[in-house]
Structure formats: C-alpha cells, structure tokens
Amino acid sequence: DTAVSQTPKYLVTQMGNDKSIKCEQNLGHDTMYWYKQDSKKFLKIMFSYNNKELIINETVPNRFSPKSPDKAHLNLHINSLELGDSAVYFCASSPHGAGNTIYFGEGSWLTVV
C-alpha cells in the first residue's frame, strides 16, 4: 500500500564504494524526484524525471547518476562514495502539473565511513 517506497532504508558503506538506492511509486504519477537532506536537515532537489525523461539536474557531482527504467521507478546510483555524501536521500513523485502535490518516500539514510 506504500505510495512511494525506497530501498534500502539504511545503508552504511565505505568510502570509494558504489551503491544504489531504488525508488518505486504506485500512484501513477508522471514525475519523480530525488531530494537530499544534509546533516543540518536542509532539503534540496537533485534530479527530476518526467515520463522517464530527465527534466531537472541540479549542480550535483557526476558521480550521482539517476536512472528511470519506467515512469514508476527512479533509481539513484552513486559512484566512488565520499564522506560528504552521507545524508538522507528522499525520493518523491507528483502528477504532472504546476499545482500538484509532491509526495515523499520514507527516505534512505546513507552513511559513508
């Protein structure tokens, strides 16, 4: 029944590793997002996809690569993890349209050691 689901919820990994976070939404929404919340709780958009097409790509290191195999899924792959990548990563989705509400997943807590 979960609307926007992300896996894993917790991830602890060493510097230099490559890891992926998966996201799926069952709301039939056209648009999906990745947001990052840093240690000071500040939330900022990273990427947005609309119908599998990349729409928004903020100033994010190219070690971060989103992939959308279909409009219900948006995965985030991170290469060569660094300590500063430790954060909570939130997936979100919304129907297409300026007035449509954005719904968030539960978050993925990434800790790089």
Instruction: Tell me which residues touch another protein (CB under 8 A).
Output: 33, 35, 40-45, 48, 50, 55-56, 90, 96-99, 101-107
CB of 93 to another protein, least distance (A): 12
CA–CA dist 31, 53 (Å, integer):
9
Least separation in angstroms between CB 16 and another protein:
27
Closer by beta carbon to another protein, 14 or else 40: 40
Q: 63 or 96: whose CB is closer to another protein?
A: 96
Rounded CA separation 61/83 (Å): 14
